[in-house]
Structure 1
Amino acid sequence: MGKADADGPGMPDLPPEWGRLVVPDDASALADEAEQLRHELRHRTSARHRRWRPPAGPVLVLVVAVVTAVVGLAVVTWPRAGRSPGPGVSTPNPAPAQLTGRPLPALDLVDVEQSPVALRGLLPAVVLLVDGCVCPGAVAEAAAMAPAGVNVVTVAGAHPRAAPTGTRVRALADPAGGLRAFLRLPASQRTVTALLADRSGRITLVLPELDSIADHHAELALLTG
């Protein structure tokens, strides 16, 4: 039979609101209370796990899909150093200043009889590309403004174009388009492309669209220096 131990000698004082604590002689008498306590602990543990359970099912699939899409978009749009342009993507034309100082290419053009003529054999020269525009007025002005000893050369496409009457202009053609490809400047139907090269073959001036050669009198004078 159990006895009240709360008043027994040597026992610590217990809170008065607990009342009298009775310790049974047989521990099996506490089996029901122990089972009830274990059940309550399991219930609390299970509730805590349910409260922190991560999202599952359609919600989790949606989250994964969104993250994958964002990562894929970042990879595609992220700029890559040294990436070369793909097919059909044009590269910028070099600025005329980038051509200045470079040597005139050693090209063979052709005359009216389709005989080869070395371009570098005509230096110093004012070269007018007339494959886009005949522009006889611009050609005649260049011939009149060029200093003595400077050749004025017109370069057409497949066949040389006749020079204006009364001018000393060497009319040549560039069937292969080598000079235009070197300049990488598009032909204009309104005016000519002009370049000046001194007697050493160095390009001193490039004019993608020539307005008036008279605006470049100083550069013309330097060709004979």
Structure 2
Amino acid sequence: MGKPDAEGHGPAEGLPGLPPEWGRVVVPDDASALAVEATQIRRELRRAGSLPGGHQALGLPLVVLLVAVLTTLAGLLAVTWPRANRGADRPTPAPWSPPATLVGRALPALDLVDADDAPVPLRGLLPAMIILLDGCPCPDRVGDALAAAPSGVSVVTVTGGRTPSARPTIERQARALADPAGGLRSFLGQPARPGAATALLVDRAGLVTRVLPELGTSDTYRNDLSVLAG
């Protein structure tokens, strides 16, 4: 019996491209089955060598038989050759990092909304540390930012949807706004990361001075806040 090919089609009995007078060429399951044909070829070669004109008489049949054997071996290789798993070469996603081009760029003139659903121009709150809370409410990080921000530097929290998240603090209150259109996140150029708050530091001229993709303790940005206040 012939062996089905790798794509699940029927037995590879008829090989394309061979003359019909050769008859049916069957691909065996085991290549050792060709040993009988190989022994017969060697016997015929020895016999032809001892007869006058033997090489010429056997020339064409011998070529046909050799082609059939080689074609059979090629078919076996095509059927049994291991194939790579699909999808194994997919690239591994690179870790997220803030676009370096944001630093020095102007903050777009975005209108966010407050708790009364009233529009609030974001550029009217500068200089500011703007904290995006769409990935994490992170009250501790907001409290650290409020405690570290010098006078004159606003701390603005921004959530998605239309409901800002206002949380009382020990001394100051962050300006809580919502961004229903997602304009600020679009400007950042990266989706929200679950469990992480993202912050932008923007000076009074409206230029981004630093991007904090994962807001940590205030020690990592205290000096930047002092520069904003200058």
With normalisation by structure 1, the TM-score equals 0.61
2:128 alignment partner, one of 125, 128, 132: 125
Equivalent position SS for 2:221: helix
1:60 alignment partner, one of 71, 82, 86: 71
Q: Distance in 1 between matches of 2:92 and 2:113?
A: 30
Equivalent position SS for 1:96: coil
Equivalent position SS for 1:144: helix
Equivalent position SS for 1:55: helix
- Contact 1:106–1:119 (CA under 8 A) maintained in structure 2: yes
Aligned position for 2:57: 46
Q: Distance in 1 between matches of 2:216 and 2:92?
A: 27
Amino acid at match of 2:109: A
Change in Cα spacing, 1:57 to 1:51, as seen in structure 2 (3 Å) is closer
- The structure having more radius of gyration, on CA atoms, is 1
Aligned position for 1:167: 172
**Is 1:148 equivalent to 2:151 in the alignment?**
yes
- Contact 1:129–1:154 (CA under 8 A) maintained in structure 2: yes
Aligned position for 2:193: 187
- Contact 1:96–1:205 (CA under 8 A) maintained in structure 2: no
Q: Distance in 1 between matches of 2:187 and 2:93?
A: 14
Change in Cα spacing, 1:197 to 1:43, as seen in structure 2 (3 Å) is same
**The 10-residue stretch of structure 1 (168-177 or 151-160) with the greater mean CA deviation from structure 2:** 168-177
Superposed CA RMSD in Å reads 3.6
Equivalent position SS for 1:120: helix
Q: How far off its partner does 1:194 sit?
A: 1.4
Q: How far off its partner does 1:205 sit?
A: 1.6
- Contact 2:111–2:122 (CA under 8 A) maintained in structure 1: yes
Q: How far off its partner does 1:114 sit?
A: 0.9
- Contact 1:139–1:164 (CA under 8 A) maintained in structure 2: no
Q: How far off its partner does 1:144 sit?
A: 2.2
Q: How far off its partner does 1:163 sit?
A: 3.1
How does 1:71-220 map onto structure 2 within 5 Å? 92=94, 95-96=97-98, 98=100, 99-158=102-161, 159-165=163-169, 166-183=171-188, 184-189=190-195, 191-220=196-225
Deviation per CA, 1:69-98, whole angstroms, max 9, x where unpaired? 98xx79x99x9xxxxx9xxx9965752252
Change in Cα spacing, 1:129 to 1:53, as seen in structure 2 (3 Å) is same
With normalisation by structure 2, the TM-score equals 0.60
Q: How far off its partner does 1:195 sit?
A: 1.5
Count of aligned positions: 173
Aligned position for 1:32: none
Structure 2: gaps of 5 or more residues: 1-50
Deviation per CA, 1:28-52, whole angstroms, max 9, x where unpaired? xxxxxxxxxxx93x43312345555
Change in Cα spacing, 1:208 to 1:47, as seen in structure 2 (3 Å) is same
Amino acid at match of 1:160: P
Structure 1: gaps of 5 or more residues: 1-38, 80-84
- Contact 1:136–1:164 (CA under 8 A) maintained in structure 2: no
Deviation per CA, 1:144-203, whole angstroms, max 9, x where unpaired? 2112221110101221111324414211011222323333143333x5221211122222
Q: How far off its partner does 1:223 sit?
A: 1.6
Change in Cα spacing, 1:214 to 1:160, as seen in structure 2 (3 Å) is same
